[in-house]
A = this chain, B = another copy of it.
Amino acid sequence: MTVRTRSASQGFGDVRGRLRSAGLRWTPQRRALIDVLKATNGHVTGAELVELCRGRDPETTPSTVYRTLEVLEEIGLIKHSHGRDGRQEFHIAPSSEHGHAICESCGEVRELSDADVDDLVASLGGAGFAVDLSHLAVGGLCHDCRAAEVAEA
């Protein structure tokens, strides 16, 4: 049940328009990256995106990908954070801010619901700390990996 209704931010559908209205351009490379991002419906590292784009067009260069990611983040289409290994991780910007639970074994990412974090936010808020949900990362083991680990032992 890893969040189905991921109808990301209202406008993942009209990227072209959003770019244009910002005086930016709609290019084949950008289209490719958008498609790839859509297909991932989750979290990917910059390097992975470069690879995925290369799958479509072997000519793809890292600089273009990273520069486009920058642009997409600027117009609020995607967000990025960092994985455990320190690499950048991008994901389609959600309609609402939310944290993530990342399995340290298989890397699976699940989004945290408001209910999951309500108390934490309240607790820290009481101490004067304003939580930024988009930068809340919880490490751990997902159900499957945990079972696998127990089995090994």
Contacts and interface: CB of A to CB of B under 8 A. Distances in A.
Interface of A: 1, 81-88, 99, 101, 103-104, 110, 112-113, 115-120, 123-124, 127-132, 134-143, 146
Given A82-B86, A119-B120, A129-B141, 5 more contacts: A104-B132, A110-B127, A129-B142, A130-B141, A136-B137
Contact of A84 (B135, B138, B139, B146): B135
B140 A130 contact: yes
B84 A83 contact: no
- What is the copy number of this chain in the assembly? 2
SS class of chain A's interface: helix, strand, loop or mixed?
A: mixed
Nearest to A115: B123
A20 B61 CA distance: 50
Contact of A123 (B116, B127, B128): B116
Contacts of A88: 86
Given A83-B82, A135-B140, A120 B116 contact: yes
A90 to B, nearest CB: 12
Contact of A104 (B87, B123, B135): B135
B116 A118 contact: no
